[in-house]
């Protein structure tokens, strides 16, 4: 790593930041880079899709966090609740971000992140205008990650379109950053991309912030959730109730554990909620409780007051190339044993010895695994928890992740155009 200071633009449609009640990967990285003396502008949308509202009425919303870091939000249209509206909003982001130039500096490095791949054309246009280095970040293997969401002719059309974007911008990129450890195989096999320009950089965590939040009093939570955690031993899931997470299997496993003094706590929101509630009703599961989505600062309190943590992933083509879930690092930071129901390659839970990885879609096997860990919660469970904490401290702090980003920036800055 050299001592050069860079002018960096990061494109991420959904980038969170504290001024709008959020945060996340690019805020954390941008903040760390800015504190090192690099100038950073993050170009995002002012539309909050989870709440179906805009953060502001203006066309451009700007917020400076320090002398070197500014978040710039552009008003993208239309508001959306379906895939057609979503893609129209993404396309509008691409058009407006492509033309944006008021960064307060001349960009030297442009990082375009595929929350959706329409950021890539926009990032490339900015880099081309300023003769800046162009880095593609792949956080989702589009269109592979959407394969199950489309069918027939539509699936073929979606794949053809997005594979065209992949082929073009992977080749144009000076470097590719991916959060999936084996994504280089997909890029090499399908598009003949030189794996030497593909860099795996997983997600990170602000341990100082996590530790500050985990010691807050339980009364910071809604009363029902507070009561369950305070008065029971709990196995807990936090996050999206999406079809990928294998939550119906988690709920079904509870019917085999009615004899245990153990509550299943599920915190979040998403399309699988009705499915889970149907299972709870059909099986008369009084040992399962579902709560709504909680703010990020409350997750450490919930994990701290749980005994075991659950995460699952259904079989999907995209998962063959590995994953990097933010949830893992929160879970490991909490020093609690983790059960991961997934067939993903080289599970991080196994690699860190922070719990057990089992096959998905098997409620009885999941129940037996829960029973086994719960029985030894004060010995084996404690050891799993300690292993996870040590692993995340060594490999997944925000500073460690930022250093890896800076290594890639140094690498592209030395390559010729």
pLDDT tens column, 346-396: 899 999 999 999 999 999 999 999 999 999 999 999 999 999 999 999 999
Which tops the pLDDT comparison, 401 or 149?
A: 401
Residue 312 and residue 249 in contact, taking contact as beta carbons nearer than 8 Å: yes
Distances (CA, A) of 313 to 185, 309, 346, 364, 384: 21, 14, 14, 16, 20
Distances (CA, A) of 281 to 245, 276, 286, 288, 365: 20, 9, 9, 10, 22
Structure tokens at 356: 């057990």
Segment 192-227, tens digit of pLDDT: 999 999 999 999 999 999 999 999 999 999 999 999
Cα–Cα nearest to 199, from 416, 396, 409: 409
| C-alpha span between 400 and 393 (Å, rounded) | 9
* pLDDT band (50, 70, 90) for residue 340: very high
Residue keyed to tokens 């995002």: 44
| C-alpha span between 162 and 88 (Å, rounded) | 15
Cα–Cα nearest to 51, from 257, 345, 382, 295: 295
Instruction: Please state, as a whole number, how many other Cβ atoms lie within 10 Å of the Cβ of residue 91.
Output: 14
**Range 310-338 average pLDDT:** 91
Cis status, amide bond into 166, omega within 30 of 0: no
- Share in percent of the chain as helix, strand, coil (round to 5): 45, 20, 35
H or E, element range at 173:
none
Q: CA torsion, points 126, 132, 173, 74, in degrees to nearest 10?
A: -30
User: Topology of domain 7-204+397-414, per CATH?
Assistant: Rossmann fold (3.40.50)
CA triplet 244, 316, 169: central angle to 5 degrees? Answer: 105
| C-alpha span between 285 and 414 (Å, rounded) | 60
| C-alpha span between 184 and 199 (Å, rounded) | 8
Instruction: Please state, as a whole number, how many other Cβ atoms lie within 10 Å of the Cβ of residue 321.
Output: 20
pLDDT at 325: 87
**Range 288-302 average pLDDT:** 94
Mean pLDDT of the chain: 93
Q: At 108, phi and psi to the nearest 5?
A: -110, -25
pLDDT at 148: 56
CATH topology match: 7-204+397-414 vs 207-395: yes
b/e 129-155 (16+ beta carbons within 10 angstroms → b): ebebbbbbbbbbbbbbbbbeeeeeeee
pLDDT at 163: 87
Instruction: Please state, as a whole number, how many other Cβ atoms lie within 10 Å of the Cβ of residue 52.
Output: 10
pLDDT at 153: 47
Structure tokens at 32: 């760390």
DSSP character at residue 222: -
pLDDT at 161: 84
Helix (H, G, I), strand (E, B) or coil at 11: strand
* pLDDT band (50, 70, 90) for residue 323: confident
Instruction: Please state, as a whole number, how many other Cβ atoms lie within 10 Å of the Cβ of residue 18.
Output: 12
Q: At 111, phi and psi to the nearest 5?
A: -115, 115
Segment 140-175, tens digit of pLDDT: 876 666 655 555 545 666 778 888 999 999 999 999
| pTM listed for this prediction | 0.91
Share of residues in the chain with pLDDT > 70 (%): 95
Instruction: Please state, as a whole number, how many other Cβ atoms lie within 10 Å of the Cβ of residue 215.
Output: 9
For the chain, what are the domain ranges? 7-204+397-414, 207-395
Residue 221 and residue 298 in contact, taking contact as beta carbons nearer than 8 Å: yes
Residue 234 and residue 294 in contact, taking contact as beta carbons nearer than 8 Å: no
| C-alpha span between 288 and 416 (Å, rounded) | 58
**Range 252-261 average pLDDT:** 97
Distances (CA, A) of 143 to 91, 149, 326, 343: 16, 10, 21, 21
Please state which architecture CATH assigns to domain 207-395: 3-Layer(aba) Sandwich (3.40)
Cis status, amide bond into 143, omega within 30 of 0: yes
Is residue 332's pLDDT more than 80? yes
């Amino acid at each position: 790593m050299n001592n050069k200071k860079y002018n960096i633009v990061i494109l991420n449609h959904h980038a969170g930041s504290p001024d709008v009640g959020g945060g996340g990967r690019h805020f954390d990285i941008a903040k760390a880079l800015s504190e090192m003396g690099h100038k950073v502008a993050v170009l995002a949308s002012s539309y909050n899709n989870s709440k179906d509202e805009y953060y502001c009425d203006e066309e451009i919303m700007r917020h400076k966090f320090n002398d070197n870091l500014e978040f710039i939000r552009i008003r993208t249209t239309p508001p959306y609740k379906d895939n057609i509206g979503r893609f129209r909003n993404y396309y509008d982001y691409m058009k407006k971000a492509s033309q944006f130039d008021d960064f307060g500096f001349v960009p030297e490095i442009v990082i375009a992140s595929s929350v959706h791949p329409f950021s890539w054309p926009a990032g490339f246009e900015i880099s081309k205008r300023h003769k800046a280095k162009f880095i593609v970040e792949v956080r989702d293997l589009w269109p592979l990650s959407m394969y199950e969401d489309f069918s027939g002719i539509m699936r073929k059309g979606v794949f053809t379109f997005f594979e065209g974007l992949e082929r073009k911008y992977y080749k144009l990129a000076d470097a590719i950053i991916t959060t999936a450890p084996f994504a280089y195989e997909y890029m090499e096999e399908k598009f003949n991309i030189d794996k030497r320009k593909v860099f795996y950089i997983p997600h990170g965590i602000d341990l100082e912030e996590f530790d500050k939040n985990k010691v807050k009093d339980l009364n910071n939570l809604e009363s029902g959730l507070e009561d369950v955690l305070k008065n029971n031993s709990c196995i807990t899931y936090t996050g999206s109730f999406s079809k990928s997470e294998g939550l119906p299997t988690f709920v079904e496993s509870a019917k085999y554990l009615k004899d245990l003094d153990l509550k299943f706590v599920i915190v979040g929101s998403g399309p699988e909620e009705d499915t889970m509630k149907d299972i709870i009703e059909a099986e008369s599961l009084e040992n399962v409780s579902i709560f709504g989505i909680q703010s990020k600062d409350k997750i450490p309190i919930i994990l701290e007051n749980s005994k075991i943590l659950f995460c699952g992933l259904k079989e999907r083509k995209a998962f063959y190339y590995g994953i990097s879930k933010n949830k893992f690092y929160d879970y490991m930071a909490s020093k609690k044993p983790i059960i991961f129901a997934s067939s993903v390659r080289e599970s991080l839970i196994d690699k860190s010895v922070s719990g057990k990885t089992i096959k998905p879609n098997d409620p009885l096997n999941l129940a037996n695994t829960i029973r086994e860990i719960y029985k030894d919660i004060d010995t084996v469970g404690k050891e799993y928890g300690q292993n996870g904490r040590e692993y995340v401290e060594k490999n997944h702090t925000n500073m460690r992740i930022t250093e890896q980003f800076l290594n890639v920036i140094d690498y592209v800055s030395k390559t010729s155009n």
